[in-house]
Structure 1
């Protein structure tokens, strides 16, 4: 016989408490009480191409808007890190084994998957990278999470097309979704006034490129789009000495990254949605 109680105290749920939480949810359901599902979590793994403009944070806000429920993002990243560095350390695998994540998003060291001989000077091996991607994608599947290969941008049409083809083939081999950025040269030409690249170095993502990657990740995982309209995004500024380290989740680091707010009016955001391949009805003013 199930005995129902008026209140259920649920302090911060530990990883070991997930099964107990699920059992409690069944109990509350039997008692006729509303069940609030835990937030969905996505783990982003990569390097500075991810943490510039807090791309995972943007994704979480946009995905929450698109789905109408809370989506959270965690990040493991370090400037210059390869996916093989992450796989060797083992933290990604341990995080996935917790069962907290619904998806794993991998972004490789810039241009590495082109497999050009010039990458050797960065200690990058395509063979090692492919093996690491396969290992982490398998760890994601074993934990019930989807694996996603988030592509890297190139500014020239030929090199962008070559890179996106090699990324897509690797994604096929490891059973991952692929998010390509092969059209970046065209977008760069069409919207030359957008903040595509970081103004300080001209290489890292600027606010609009990070937003494009975040929106395309929302599209790949959920096939949904945030409602068009004016928007304000709160971002951590992880650049410089505030950048994440390889051995801890960004949320566990005391980096003191400042918060930046980015506002886009309804038309500006509608344009970015279209650039990401997310069409929405026109906003009625």
Structure 2
């Protein structure tokens, strides 16, 4: 009897130890160059407080739409079998654009709707929360059409929408000294990547980060692993911080 009791206690300790070593959050980013330029997943992971158990992965290829992603068996396997607790979807820039004609036709001319809904359905069926991370255009008018489409897609997909376009445009006006656009004139600059990381963290965990988003290792411009799953090594010390510390709250909350 005593022997059985000892075995039972040891088994409980082993199970508790295994559970303690498992990550509390498994996060998957699915996107494209807007996601991997400046290492958004890496910057996001750097916001985790000490002691946080977290895994962060990314599947992203140059110029990829969510429709492209859903044709990739690697993506569908990750969504259904990866054990992720949180999935972030980011569409190719402009694909969610929904001008007046699109709205009048009930989104039937918005191809991005179908792929986002399918990705979200798979993720939620596997027990994950889904977040639809916005993109941006250059003017208030184009941002309005883009955000209309993004909100509609997020709502139809059962995903939480993380708005970027209009807050970014307004912050660019009030803080022009920050690096909003990459030197190529198209991709996110450090400030835009930091803003996405901060607002996404706030949406996912309900708290406003106070830490500067930083990147460990090389800051990527080209896709670091276009044919596979990139795993962010959280043990590496952050090396490149994307914005000054006094910009963090502005990027996370304003306007």
**TM-score bracket for the superposition, by shorter chain length:** 0.7 to 0.9
Residues 95/160 of structure 1: CA separation in 2 closer, same or farther (3 Å cut): same
| Structure 2: distance between partners of 1:56 and 1:232 | 10
Residues 232/96 of structure 1: CA separation in 2 closer, same or farther (3 Å cut): closer
Whether 1:185 aligns to 2:169 is yes
Match of 2:228 among 245, 248, 261: 248
TM-score of the superposition, structure 1-length normalised? Answer: 0.74
**TM-superposed deviation, 1:163:** 1.0
For the residue of structure 1 that corresponds to 2:71, the secondary structure is helix
Residues 278/227 of structure 1: CA separation in 2 closer, same or farther (3 Å cut): farther
**TM-superposed deviation, 1:276:** 1.6
| Structure 2: distance between partners of 1:149 and 1:50 | 12
State the match for 1:138 in structure 2: 121
Whether 1:59 aligns to 2:37 is no
1:68-97 superposed Cα distances (whole Å, 9 cap, x missing partner)? 513221000011001001101132221122
Moved over 6 A (4+): none
The one of the two structures with greater contact order (alpha-carbon pairs below 8 A, sep at least 6) is 2
| Structure 2: distance between partners of 1:236 and 1:189 | 30
**TM-superposed deviation, 1:231:** 7.0
Q: Structure 2 stretches of 5 or more lacking a match?
A: 100-107
The alignment of Structure 1 onto Structure 2 pairs a total of residues equal to 238
**TM-superposed deviation, 1:278:** 7.8
Residues 165/68 of structure 1: CA separation in 2 closer, same or farther (3 Å cut): farther
**Cα contact 1:44–1:104 (8 A) shared by 2:** yes
**TM-superposed deviation, 1:128:** 3.5
Match of 1:198 among 169, 182, 187: 182
TM-score of the superposition, structure 2-length normalised? Answer: 0.82
State the match for 2:157 in structure 1: 174
Whether 1:237 aligns to 2:219 is yes
Match of 2:246 among 258, 270, 274: 270
State the match for 1:282 in structure 2: none
**TM-superposed deviation, 1:183:** 1.8
**Cα contact 2:190–2:242 (8 A) shared by 1:** no
**Cα contact 1:53–1:235 (8 A) shared by 2:** no
1:152-207 superposed Cα distances (whole Å, 9 cap, x missing partner)? 012211111221121111111111000011221111111101011112x1110011
| Structure 1: distance between partners of 2:214 and 2:89 | 26
**Cα contact 1:231–1:263 (8 A) shared by 2:** yes
| Structure 2: distance between partners of 1:223 and 1:94 | 29
State the match for 2:105 in structure 1: none
